[in-house]
Amino acid sequence: MKDIYLMFMRHLKKSLRQPIWLILGLSQPILYLILYMPLLKNTGVGAASATGEIVKMFVPGMLVIMGMGALFAGFSFVDEIRQGIIARWLVTPTGRVGLILSLVLNQILTLFTQSCILLVIALFLGLNVPFMGIVLTMILILLIGVTMSSFSYAISLSVKDEGVLASITNTVYLPIMLLSGIMLPISLAPNWMKNMALFNPFYYVVEASRSLFAGDYSNMMVVKGFAIMMGFTLLAVWLAVRALNKMTA
């Protein structure tokens, strides 16, 4: 725990010196809320719905987008690998799990802050959801953040190159985002897309988040969303620690 705390404080101070990343991480979801969400009122999705209902359907997807954005956490990490900073950490008594968790916790704190700001903005736009629904959804979003940042660190440790990392992350990010129903529910998609979405773990998370926002806590999608994401979280952290151990070898 001491290792995690000391390393976390180091990463936090570095992040605070560059607050622009917090703002940039918020810009995309806010633009979607302001410039894309109003378009839904003129479609079959939102034509008969109050603004509050459209916000309730749309905001969970924006939260998931922010969580998935942690997939790009590895870009600054590659630079530290190149500079030899990671190699110097590895010769200290600090545990490998502690190194990874300190990095991940820094991303989680940023994600939590961004999510809270987005929810406050959504409240002004008419969002009205149960408090417990928000709490459970936030837990899901933070699990996504842990998963995606851990995967990003694992890839960074393996490729050690920003160009390769960019190719991998962009290739993975776009299809899983489009097939998760972030913008619009997958129920509106053609059958072939619905079938493809069943193989996308983030589809279950988005549907679980929408059910939680609706107060439908007993929906099986909620159980599936938590179960799937917890499994991927454990896998991602294990892969990141494994990649760090291989770098030592």
Average pLDDT taken over every residue of the chain: 83
Return the sign of the alpha-carbon dihedral for residues 57, 25, 116, 118.
negative
**Cα 130 → chain centroid:** 22
Check residue 48 and give its pLDDT.
Answer: 44
Total domains in the fold of the chain: 1
Domain range for 240 is 2-248
Burial class of 25 by CB neighbour count within 10 A (0 to 12, 13 to 18, 19+): buried
Record the pTM: 0.85
Q: What is the pLDDT of residues 179-225, one digit of tens each?
A: 888 877 787 788 888 899 899 999 999 999 999 998 899 899 999 99
